[in-house]
Amino acid sequence: MNTQASINVGGLSFEWDLEKGKFLFEGQDSVLFWTSTAMKMFFDTIEEIAGEDAAEVVMETTGYRQGIVVGDYFSEMENVDAAEAAALITNTYASAGWGLAETHKLDIEKKTVEVHLKDSWEHSINIAQQKKTGGRFLPAHYAGIFTKLFGENIWYEVDHFQLEGYSESVIRYFPSDETVEENIHRLARSNEAKQIRQLQNLVEEKTAELTLLVKELSSPIIPVLDGIVVVPLLGTYDEERAEELMIKTLQNLPTYKAKYLVLDLTGLNNNFTQQAAALIEKLGAAAGLIGTETILVGISPAMSMVISESGIDISKFNCFQTLQHGIHFALAQNGRSII
């Protein structure tokens, strides 16, 4: 069996050395893959791990940088200028199974060119992947090649892909400031923005949950004995919390047939303001209109100073130092006591 062989196709050499497991294309180590199976699996895996957006940038960047390598290869050829190198592209890539790549509208002075791609390996993979638009590896690959050939950064714009129903893909190339590095940074910024949005949404969601929980726990109404309910005031009451307290308390007093509303102010020791004092007066007055007498307990010396300075009159309410005293007083008004 012949373990070594070589062939020349379209002016390009192919060599095999089976004993060493070597395949050479133009004297360089090369490998062969099945396009619609092995290479498709490679593309699918990148998308699965990185996501479609990131995978597109990865393939575009890889294609471009590989194009730079190929551009170096053409540039190192003796007596071959950019126009001649562009003409060599068709045979070079066709012989390697990359599909038919033809250059059109080459303008050396303006450094512009069109590449028409037909039945490329990327097109075959995209069909196997059931994609609706073409990939970015090959368009970026030729951008890398012409960047080297023209000696200036070249980027591309796809007029249309073969995958969209055309007979071939048409890509235009031109000088540009856009680079693969900028696209990588753009993807990173996009991912950061996406993560920030996700965090903002999470914060808003948790804030809404916390607000609901605070409303449920804020100033609970505790029926301690028949006709007596206790409402402990806790924390700081802004306009929203104050309104919630008023509505919740006044709606539930008739439910408990409350004759006495005991407001426990102990939890306001460090947060007692003139606004809190006004709230207490307003709540007590509203409760009185529906037949419930208000008793205040837990007033500290500091609170009494704030109440005095505010000018709010709470003399109409019975006031006690502790919750126990307030409940005993309420019971006594009905001729009852705790034994």
The pLDDT of residue 206 is: 79
Query: Confidence band (pLDDT; 50, 70, 90) for 301?
Result: confident
State the burial class of residue 277 (Cβ atoms within 10 Å of its Cβ: 0-12, 13-18, 19+).
Answer: buried
338 pLDDT above the threshold of 70: no
SS3 of 28, please? strand
The pLDDT of residue 339 is: 63
Residue 271 phi/psi, 5° resolution?
A: -130, 25
The pLDDT of residue 36 is: 84
Return d(Cα 286, Cα 288) in angstroms, integer: 5
- Residues 206/144, Cβ–Cβ less than 8 Å: no
Q: In sequence order, which residues have a C-beta less than 8 Å from that of residue 159 and are 6 or more positions away? A: 170, 171, 172
What are the structure tokens assigned to 19, written together? 């004993």
The pLDDT of residue 207 is: 73
Query: Confidence band (pLDDT; 50, 70, 90) for 114?
Result: very high
Closest CA to 74 of 10, 147, 136: 147
- Residues 265/280, Cβ–Cβ less than 8 Å: yes
297 pLDDT above the threshold of 90: yes
Instruction: State the average pLDDT over residues 19-34.
Output: 87
The pLDDT of residue 219 is: 67
Global pTM?
0.57
What are the structure tokens assigned to 154, written together? 């070249």
Return d(Cα 337, Cα 339) in angstroms, integer: 6
The domains spanning 33-178 and 219-333 adopt the same CATH topology: no
Between 251 and 53, name the one with better pLDDT: 251
What are the structure tokens assigned to 189, written together? 């910024």
The pLDDT of residue 19 is: 86
Instruction: State the average pLDDT over residues 309-334.
Output: 88
Mean pLDDT of all residues in the chain?
87
The pLDDT of residue 112 is: 95
DSSP 14: E
The pLDDT of residue 138 is: 94
Return d(Cα 224, Cα 221) in angstroms, integer: 9
Return d(Cα 329, Cα 320) in angstroms, integer: 9
CATH number, domain 33-178:
3.30.1380.20
Angle at 62 between CA 167 and CA 30, to 5 degrees: 85
Percent with pLDDT over 70 in the chain: 93
Q: Can you state the angle between helices 274-289 and 239-252, rounded to 10 degrees?
A: 20
Per residue in 138-190, pLDDT (tens digit) is 999 999 999 999 999 999 999 999 999 999 999 999 999 888 887 777 766 66
Instruction: State the average pLDDT over residues 253-265.
Output: 93
For the chain, what are the domain ranges?
Answer: 33-178, 219-333
295 pLDDT above the threshold of 90: yes
CATH architecture of 219-333: 2-Layer Sandwich (3.30)
Query: Confidence band (pLDDT; 50, 70, 90) for 214?
Result: low
Q: What is the CA radius of gyration of the chain?
A: 40
Query: Confidence band (pLDDT; 50, 70, 90) for 35?
Result: confident
217 pLDDT above the threshold of 70: no
Instruction: State the average pLDDT over residues 84-97.
Output: 85
Sign of CA dihedral 67, 73, 76, 82: negative
Of 107-116, 120-129, 309-318, the poorest mean pLDDT is in 309-318
